[in-house]
Structure 1
Amino acid sequence: MRDTYRNPRTQEASVSPRERSDRTAAADALCVAAFEKTGAPVTGLSLVAVGGYGRGELAPYSDLDVVLVHADDVDPGEAAEQVWYPLWDSGSRLDHSVRSLSEMVSTAGQDLKVALGLLDARHLAGDAHLTLQLRTTMLTHWRREARDRLPELRDLVRARHELLGELAHLSVPDLKEAAGGLRDATVLKALVATWLVDVPHGELERRRLALLDVRDVLHGVTGRATDRVAPEHWADLAPGLGLDGEAAAQVHVRDLGRAITHLSRLTWRRVESVLARPTSPRHARTPALTRLAPGVALSRGEVVLEADARPDRDPLLLLRAAVEAAERDVVLAPPTAARLAREAAPLPDPWPPEARHLLVRLLASGRGLLAVWETLEETGAVARALPEWDRIRTLPHASPIHRFTVDRHVVETCIEAASLIRDVGRPDVLMVAALLHDIGKGGLTEHSVAGEPIARAVATRMGFEPEDVERIARLVRWHLLLAETATTRDPEDPATVALVTDCLVDPETVTLLLALSEADARATAPKAWSTWRAGLVTDLARRVLAAMDVDAPAVDPQPDLPVPAAVRAGGFDLQVEADGDGARVTVLAPDRVGLLADVAAMFALQRASVRAARAWAQDDYAISVWDVADQLVDPAVLRQRFEAVVAGRIDPTSRLRPADTAGLAPTVGVRPEASRGATVLEVRAADRPGVLYLTLAALASLDVMVRSAHVDTLGPQAVDVFYVQEDGAGALSEPRAAEAAHAVRAVLGGDLSVLTPPDHE
């Protein structure tokens, strides 16, 4: 029965490898007994375990992958059913098939997944010689055809990685299929079986077995066969793994995934190098070393040390080797990196200029940085030069909008910043600021505040001049300033520009921060630097530079649009244009209280997701531009919706009641410092249809005029900022501002009593 080999202990301090062995032995006994009861012939027929069962790695709820193999001249008859029924009756989950030996070879030749599974074939019962013949034949074919089949396998692995992401960075990691998971570990063993490349066996086995332990505990915690670790499982996994709390469990699993990912990338680079080399025996001699820099050479596509290199006498050797590998986008041999981490002389404090120059070259090397940095991390070399890195290593981001852990995000930011160094006057400052911009994460203090003194200390140790140290520290402190201000404040308001100029002080810092903001956003998620957001941030930076009397391009005010005759007659105009992966909708109508609420209702009723919006007044007319996610939004349908809302034929309030807000309660704040001529309300709420409409409707019910709106969506949260005034007057009084904030808060919390039917006359 299944319980014979299911691990019943889910809260132990550790997982014993003996348990997997016991489960496998129990399953083997079931299979052997079932086969023997059939009375099948002693020769020409064998029961074989394949895949994870063949490797003896059964988890508590694993399937039994078995094949009944028969010689080509042997008819298995009814033996198959006689084997399967007892196994089904035992409660086992069974993945089974019946194949002749020639069918097995033929199928494996056509299907890579079958071929990989048969590399782990293990005899269970019947004709052991037939099983041995199968294993020998499959291994021979695999090695003989490796050069032809490995490109296809590489493509399969890449496609899986692109589809599922990396185990080390996923919010819901897949222990088996994600990059760095058990499937990759199995592929690595198959690569070793080709005899073309090797993998550090001890490192791989240690991480693979530890990941199997995690899967064992996960099965016990969930009570089912699963490889996906949902957020609620971390706390229950920790005791079974002998770890203290869910944070430790996350770090443990992500570290395992990171290590296997690194081994996988390294091995595939070596495979590509082997496939690119001639196969003639005369080219198989020991390759000559090509000298790249003092102490550093290239051998078969990998950066290594020259024979006479003396790491203990050359503190720059580690950085020199890393730079050569990253700039050439080749492998930094892990034994070389490990030796340098172990033996290299420490850098003096402060660093000499050449060390700083090498670090900047490394950070600015582009895509080649990632693999080299991973090698430096795995061998402990990063900690030697930058001990502060441990603060953020394997640290998950709090916001789900981020696709990577903090440390990987920082590396990706450096890669993005490398493409922008021609746009700034101090690329060295930009690259070091990119490296340190999130160094303050992981504590209770806001990370940009916590990161400033750390960045100052690191930059000082690196030997930067005092004014550059302060600039790097300032960039770290305010690295979110341009992006947050541009998306939540009115750039036309002098207070907005003054806020930025007070923080950034000089034009050079503004230019550097603009580049850092772009790199940071691009490294966060593909859509975090949309055309819309890029335009807002760039426009704000230009306004700040203009305020600093810098010779910058002229700052364009909000454009004046021609007013169609229909709008002058009291109607409206609506235009839609495709914009990237969405659409941009421009609405022009006579200005009035409640107009923006009606437009927001139009989008909400159409279930068009508003990613960002801007609104401003032009004489007696209101212009609003809306960035929506749906590229196929139909302008005719939008017009019909808007007309129905304005005419009162549709009551948006009844259709857009707020959903349960228990997960993320709305907050509404008044920001008196943000503007001198208007009252600024900042609204944060769970992003869902109707939030924007309900907010604007609540303001309209109080006869509050929205002079400017700045709408943005950050992951699951909507961040909307409204510059409001009394109709025909200036900023709201304190009591009126408090009343407006209370009304919005109440509506978003579910109390719709403050809303009154809008008057469109």
Structure 2
Amino acid sequence: MNRSPVPNQRAIIDRRLLAGRIAELVAEHGDKARPHIVQALKEALDAGRAELTRRLCERPSAGHACTRGHAFLIDQLVRVLYDHVTADLYPAPNRSSAERLAIMAVGGYGRAEMAPHSDVDIAFLTAQRHTPWCEQVIEAMLYLMWDLGLKVGHSSRTIEDSMRLAREDLTIRTSLLEARYVWGDEALYDEASRRFWSEVARGTERQFVVEKLAERNARHKRMGDSRYVVEPNIKDGKGGLRDLQTLYWIGKYTHQVRSAKELVDIGLLTKAEYRGFRRAERFLLAVRCHLHQITGRAEDRLTFDFQRQIAERMNFADRPGKSAVERFMQFYFLQAKRVGSLTGVFLAQLDEEFAQKSAKRGFFAGFRSRPRELKGYVVHGGRIAAPSDDWFRKDPVRLIEVFQLAEAEELEVHPRTMRQAARDAKTIDHAVRHNARANALFLDLLCGRNDPASVLRWMNEAGVMGRFVPDFGRVNAQMQFNMYHHYTVDEHTIRAIGLLSRIEKGELADDHPRATRLIHKVASRRVAYVAALLHDIAKGRKGDHSILGAEVARDLCPRFGLSDSETELVAWLVLHHLLMSHTAQKRDLTDPKTVEDFVNTVQGIERLRHLAILTAVDIRAVGPGTWNSWKGQLLGELFDLSQERLRLGHARHGRQERVEAKRAEVSKRLGPRSDLVASVGGRLDDAYWIAEPADIAAINLVHYQAAREADHALSIHCEFYEQRGATLVTVIAADHPGLFYRIAGGIHLAGGNIIDARIHTSRDGWAVDNFLVQDPHGRPFMEEGQLDRLKKSIADALANRIDLEPRLAQRPLPHSRSKAFDVDPRIVFDNKASNRFTVIEVNARDRSALLNRLSRSLFEEGLVVHSAHVTAYGERAVDTFYVTDVTGSKITGEARLARIEGSLLVAASDALQAQLEDA
């Protein structure tokens, strides 16, 4: 877009020297010179790329210099090729008027924005069709370029064909828009350029803008429609290079600018915005060049695998609480945010230009709908605008007010006003932050009844949010370098607020029925919204973000205007915002001690209601697919059990009463077969009846009876369990040591992930083991073929028909990119979490058959697993086991605990995985 000269060009490639070398090779080898010429060209290409790689290493953020350098290198090679082909292979000293050929660079090559492995997009322009000399030259050049290993995108058309196709096809029109003369018949290129502007572009400016924006919106939707996804596509993603290029294309098409700098001259960007444009473009181009160099190919996805390497190349360093890669990605998202802001003001300016032109002509010339006044602001066309350029500088509190009014009145903020707000955000100082009216307006916006999330997002884009709430500014564009979180911290927070608003309006009742009821029962809805805003406010700092966040909440809530009791509740929620999800997913909810400990921390119904709501929106705002029916069921069970304890001060029923109530419910479910509760159920102890839900117990009893009647040594039952969004796998077999880890191995071999497991033994020595299983994408197995595969795999594992360890090691990782992260295994023993069991929690890198390896290690250490609970957080898995020794006692000896820890660390280690894979 801005083609300043490439410095020290001959260090990249010396065209005259290369042309002379080719002339020597032709003279020396004659008709057999081709392989020698290709070799000389390859050496020049490799030397040029090496020089540009060296320059990027010296100046790792010099994106423009690197991409211009690669375009220059290709330019010189193309010129040498053309001169060689037309002089030595197909000389035509007396060409006819038809034998005219111009070579144009198009696409990124046309803009002189070429990363190391970008396609070489070339258009051959001819005067007439099917001219033998032109076709020979084009073919010869293409074959030589292919011999060099270049990936060439090419077209060959006459001027007439080019104009006709450009009128019909947006892609071809865009291609011609940024076409750049490289070599050949320059007069032919000039004629094509003149005709393009006079025959294609003139009068179609508005159509081009509409089509380009539609194309952009479709691309955004395809790429996830957020600029804050943690593995962005730097070319096609929202806020990426293609968005900047779209602005340039629109500006060039509507105003015939020759460079992005001229967008300032025509008033579409201010000088400051243009500088932001260039900074964002320079950084994104540099990142793309590093990606190409690292991968050795045209790669535009900034995946976890490469983020750490590029952060190191671009000299980002670790800081307390924030790693180098997180700082690099935060800078990336700030540039993507800048691109979004530029897009808004640019298009608004263009929209006004079109509106003014339309108003000056036609039947309704001079007629425009009248704007209305709202508290000093101008409202017109569904947009609210500041009435003057100095509006915010006169009273910075208006920077909060304009967004609050936009939310309350369901208006958009005019992009020109967004531009003013971004410019004047720096006027928000300590006095404004502690202004009572400003804070009341902010709280009204945060708790707005319409769409607070969208307006908070605009406020954040303008930089007002970070200035008014500096703690939020610290997490602005901050990524979390893991595979669990899909968005930056600020985007995750705003999405959580949006989900809370939708739950309050009843829009998510099907997915969150409990939260939909509870939001209307809490004493203060303000607490719910402020807690959602602040729950991750201290991420990226040195220390526990929950503890630090609670301190921030105690400072901010009184400033926002919350009462002392509201402040204390928000601080408590921020401190414990992970408690409910961790308890539900990592602990055995049928163990009375689990609920007892949870209730001792919660201590009140109001806290429980708010915590349930915050937990739901926090999990769902992590990203698509993170919330599922299994998590909803677990959280619901924990809520119901805890609410009962809090209301009554104790469990409604004692242990024996609970057992009898469960047996009665199962009897009712079984109907005519209710006798199984006594005959089969009598063989199962009280722990079974407390642990298993009534519907699963009913299935188990029927299954157990059928297996015994058929005298089956092994019986496996699989069915889709809709209530939990998983597949229920029940195995009934003669109990023996190692049964659990072998079943787990069989399930893993069939492609299943175990999310929950309960292990029981009947009084006559039969194991009744229940597993909840999902596929690697969190979906249940439902098809008959899948269920049969599960059964066969488990049966083969238990019959020793397969060697489990090597087979399991060969299975692909659930997340192939998990090796990009440092996940050190960690083992936690807890003898206080349960009255009967030792609870062992293993944190490790998620990998195929981790549960199988850990449970085998426990078996080899002489432990009995009574239940297992599996939770995945992207690349990290947390497997929790409730265990005893063979006598049914807890594990207490320090020496034995240390030995078990060592064994589990080996089982969870990357080194063992590597050994198994090698074997």
Q: Which category describes the TM-score, using the shorter chain as reference length?
A: 0.7 to 0.9
Distance 1:581-1:42 versus aligned 2 partners, 3 A rule: farther
Aligned partner of 1:622 in structure 2 is 768
Q: Give the conservation status (yes or no) of the 8 Å contact 2:101–2:125.
A: yes
Distance 1:545-1:24 versus aligned 2 partners, 3 A rule: same
Distance 1:595-1:260 versus aligned 2 partners, 3 A rule: same
Aligned partner of 1:52 in structure 2 is 108
Deviates more, 1:486-495 or 1:309-318: 309-318
2:355 and 2:648 mapped to 1: Cα distance?
53
- Other structure's SS at 2:55 match: coil
Q: Give the conservation status (yes or no) of the 8 Å contact 1:682–1:720.
A: yes
Distance 1:344-1:672 versus aligned 2 partners, 3 A rule: closer
Residue from 381, 395, 412 that aligns with 1:330: 412
1:182 and 1:538 mapped to 2: Cα distance?
45
- Other structure's SS at 1:524 match: coil
Aligned partner of 2:338 in structure 1 is 259
Distance 1:450-1:342 versus aligned 2 partners, 3 A rule: closer
Matches within 5 A, 1:114-263: 114-139=172-197, 141-142=200-201, 144-145=203-204, 153-165=212-224, 169-193=228-252, 195=254, 198=268, 202=274, 203-216=276-289, 218-219=291-292, 225-229=298-302, 237=310, 246-247=324-325, 248-263=327-342
The answer to whether the aligner puts 1:613 opposite 2:765 as a matched pair is: no
Q: Give the conservation status (yes or no) of the 8 Å contact 1:591–1:617.
A: no
- The one-letter code of the counterpart of 1:405 is T
Q: Give the conservation status (yes or no) of the 8 Å contact 2:103–2:183.
A: yes
2:352 and 2:761 mapped to 1: Cα distance?
63
Matches within 5 A, 1:475-514: 475-514=573-612
- The one-letter code of the counterpart of 1:566 is A
Distance 1:284-1:716 versus aligned 2 partners, 3 A rule: farther
Segments of 5+ residues of structure 2 without an aligned counterpart are 1-43, 87-91, 256-266, 319-323, 505-515, 654-661, 663-689, 914-919
1:180 and 1:34 mapped to 2: Cα distance?
38
**TM score, norm. by length of structure 2:** 0.72
2:370 and 2:425 mapped to 1: Cα distance?
22
The answer to whether the aligner puts 1:638 opposite 2:778 as a matched pair is: no
Q: CA deviation at 1:256?
A: 1.6
- Other structure's SS at 1:124 match: strand
Matches within 5 A, 1:491-570: 491-549=589-647, 558-560=692-694, 561-562=697-698, 563-564=701-702, 565-569=705-709
- The one-letter code of the counterpart of 1:299 is H
- For each residue in 1:616-637, what CA deviation from the matched residue of structure 2 results, as whole angstroms up to 9, or x when unmatched? 6597573524131253463233
1:53 and 1:382 mapped to 2: Cα distance?
39
Q: CA deviation at 1:712?
A: 1.8
- Other structure's SS at 1:642 match: helix
Residue from 890, 899, 903 that aligns with 1:731: 890
- For each residue in 1:602-653, what CA deviation from the matched residue of structure 2 results, as whole angstroms up to 9, or x when unmatched? 312212233x114265975735241312534632333333334444444535
Which has more helix, going by share of residues?
A: 2
The answer to whether the aligner puts 1:454 opposite 2:552 as a matched pair is: yes
Aligned partner of 2:401 in structure 1 is 320
- For each residue in 1:112-152, what CA deviation from the matched residue of structure 2 results, as whole angstroms up to 9, or x when unmatched? 33322221012233444543443344455356445556665
Q: Give the conservation status (yes or no) of the 8 Å contact 1:52–1:65.
A: yes
1:271 and 1:539 mapped to 2: Cα distance?
55
Aligned partner of 2:436 in structure 1 is 352
2:744 and 2:282 mapped to 1: Cα distance?
54
Deviates more, 1:652-661 or 1:97-106: 652-661
2:585 and 2:78 mapped to 1: Cα distance?
64
Distance 1:310-1:154 versus aligned 2 partners, 3 A rule: closer
Distance 1:725-1:243 versus aligned 2 partners, 3 A rule: closer
- The one-letter code of the counterpart of 2:491 is R
2:77 and 2:179 mapped to 1: Cα distance?
18
- The one-letter code of the counterpart of 2:421 is A
Distance 1:468-1:143 versus aligned 2 partners, 3 A rule: farther
- For each residue in 1:247-280, what CA deviation from the matched residue of structure 2 results, as whole angstroms up to 9, or x when unmatched? 4543333322222234446767899999999997
- The one-letter code of the counterpart of 2:412 is V
1:343 and 1:647 mapped to 2: Cα distance?
74
- Other structure's SS at 1:492 match: coil
Distance 1:340-1:322 versus aligned 2 partners, 3 A rule: farther
- Other structure's SS at 1:419 match: helix
Aligned partner of 2:21 in structure 1 is none
2:222 and 2:650 mapped to 1: Cα distance?
43
Q: CA deviation at 1:479?
A: 0.8
Q: CA deviation at 1:206?
A: 3.9
Matches within 5 A, 1:333-482: 333=415, 334-338=418-422, 341-342=425-426, 350-352=434-436, 355-356=439-440, 358-362=442-446, 364=448, 369-370=453-454, 372-421=455-504, 423-424=518-519, 425=522, 426-482=524-580
The answer to whether the aligner puts 1:11 opposite 2:57 as a matched pair is: yes
- The one-letter code of the counterpart of 1:607 is G
- The one-letter code of the counterpart of 1:254 is F
Aligned partner of 2:728 in structure 1 is 585
Deviates more, 1:422-431 or 1:359-368: 359-368
1:598 and 1:583 mapped to 2: Cα distance?
20
Distance 1:668-1:135 versus aligned 2 partners, 3 A rule: same
2:280 and 2:74 mapped to 1: Cα distance?
25
Residue from 866, 874, 877 that aligns with 1:707: 866
Distance 1:658-1:102 versus aligned 2 partners, 3 A rule: closer
**TM score, norm. by length of structure 1:** 0.85
Q: Give the conservation status (yes or no) of the 8 Å contact 2:827–2:905.
A: yes
2:177 and 2:102 mapped to 1: Cα distance?
16
- Other structure's SS at 1:674 match: coil
Q: Please identify the structure whose Cα radius of gyration is greater.
A: 2
Aligned partner of 1:756 in structure 2 is none
1:533 and 1:644 mapped to 2: Cα distance?
31
- The one-letter code of the counterpart of 2:439 is A
The answer to whether the aligner puts 1:99 opposite 2:157 as a matched pair is: yes
- The one-letter code of the counterpart of 1:417 is L
Q: Give the conservation status (yes or no) of the 8 Å contact 2:827–2:842.
A: yes
2:633 and 2:351 mapped to 1: Cα distance?
41
Q: CA deviation at 1:219?
A: 4.8
- For each residue in 1:688-736, what CA deviation from the matched residue of structure 2 results, as whole angstroms up to 9, or x when unmatched? 3322223333434555433332222221222111222345744344366
Distance 1:647-1:400 versus aligned 2 partners, 3 A rule: closer
Q: Give the conservation status (yes or no) of the 8 Å contact 1:10–1:240.
A: no
Segments of 5+ residues of structure 1 without an aligned counterpart are 753-761
Name the Cα RMSD after superposition.
Answer: 4.2
- The one-letter code of the counterpart of 1:721 is T
Distance 1:359-1:580 versus aligned 2 partners, 3 A rule: same
